[in-house]
Amino acid sequence: MTGAVVVNTTDIAADIAALRERAGFRLDRIMPADDPALADMSGHGLALSLRRTEEVQPVTIAIDAAGRDVVLAGGSTIRFEPRPRGIDVPANVPELVVTHASQGDAWVSGRAGMRYRELLPGRWGGRFIASHIHVPGTGPIPDYVHYHRTRFQLIAVKSGEVEVVYEDQGEPFVMRPGDCVLQPPEIRHRVLHGSNDLEVVEVGCPAEHETLVEHGFGLPTAAVEPDRDFSGQRFVRHTAAETPAGTWRLPGWTARDSGIAAATGGLVTVLFVQPADSPSAEWSWVEGEFELLVAMHGSVMLETESGGATRLDPGDSAALPAGEGHRLLDPSDDLELMEVHVP
Give the CATH number of the domain where residue 191 resides.
Answer: 2.60.120.10
Give the least confident one: 42-56, 247-261, 320-334.
42-56
CB 139 within 8 A of CB 213: no
> Rounded to an integer, what distance in angstroms lies between the CA atom of residue 133 and that of residue 68?
42
Taking the model in full, what pTM does it have? Answer: 0.86
3-state secondary structure of 212: strand
Query: Is residue 39 domain-resident?
Result: yes
Query: Is residue 63 domain-resident?
Result: yes
Say yes or no: 222 and 289 in one domain: no
Say yes or no: 19 and 110 in one domain: no
Share of the chain above pLDDT 90, in %: 92
Share of the chain above pLDDT 70, in %: 99
Cα-to-chain-centroid distance, residue 259: 20
What integer is the mean pLDDT of 218-238? 97
Looking at residue 105, its pLDDT comes to 66
pLDDT band at residue 106, thresholds of 50, 70 and 90? confident
Say yes or no: 129 and 202 in one domain: yes
More confident residue, 45 or 114: 45
> Rounded to an integer, what distance in angstroms lies between the CA atom of residue 288 and that of residue 305?
17
Say yes or no: 151 and 213 in one domain: yes
Q: Which residues contact 233 (CB under 8 A, 6 or more apart)?
A: 152, 182, 184, 185, 263, 264, 265, 267
- Cβ burial of 294 (10 Å; 0-12, 13-18, 19+) is buried
Say yes or no: 114 and 168 in one domain: yes
Looking at residue 4, its pLDDT comes to 93
What integer is the mean pLDDT of 333-343? 97
Looking at residue 132, its pLDDT comes to 96
pLDDT averaged over every residue in the chain: 95
- State the first-to-last Cα distance of the chain, in angstroms, to the nearest integer: 53
Query: Is residue 291 domain-resident?
Result: yes
Query: Is residue 86 domain-resident?
Result: no
Query: Is residue 88 domain-resident?
Result: no
pLDDT, tens digit (0-9, with 9 covering 90-100), for 148-181: 999 999 999 999 999 999 999 999 999 999 999 9
**For residue 309, what are the domain limits?**
246-342
Q: Is the pLDDT of residue 113 over 80?
A: no
CB 60 within 8 A of CB 69: no
Reported as half-sphere exposure (CB side, CA atoms, 13 A), residue 123 has a value of 17
Query: Is residue 97 domain-resident?
Result: no
What integer is the mean pLDDT of 182-206? 97
- With vertex at residue 224, the alpha carbon angle to CA 223 and CA 227, rounded to the nearest 5 degrees, is 125
Say yes or no: 119 and 208 in one domain: yes
Query: Is residue 94 domain-resident?
Result: no
Say yes or no: 210 and 294 in one domain: no
What integer is the mean pLDDT of 52-81? 93
| Backbone phi and psi for residue 290, each to the nearest 5 degrees, phi listed first | -160, 140
Say yes or no: 291 and 180 in one domain: no
β-sheet bridge partners, residue 2: none
pLDDT band at residue 20, thresholds of 50, 70 and 90? very high
Say yes or no: 132 and 196 in one domain: yes
- Select from 164, 199, 229 the last residue of a domain: 229
Give the CATH number of the domain where residue 67 resides.
Answer: 3.10.180.10
What integer is the mean pLDDT of 224-251? 97
pLDDT, tens digit (0-9, with 9 covering 90-100), for 34-62: 999 999 999 999 999 999 998 888 999 99
Query: Is residue 91 domain-resident?
Result: no
Please, what's the b/e burial string for 271-288 (b: 16 or more CB within 10 A of its CB; e: otherwise)?
Answer: bbbbbbeebbeeeeebee
- Select from 203, 229, 255 the last residue of a domain: 229
Q: Is the pLDDT of residue 1 over 60?
A: no
Q: Give me the number of domains the chain comprises.
A: 3
Looking at residue 236, its pLDDT comes to 98
CB 300 within 8 A of CB 329: yes
CB 261 within 8 A of CB 287: no
Say yes or no: 110 and 202 in one domain: yes
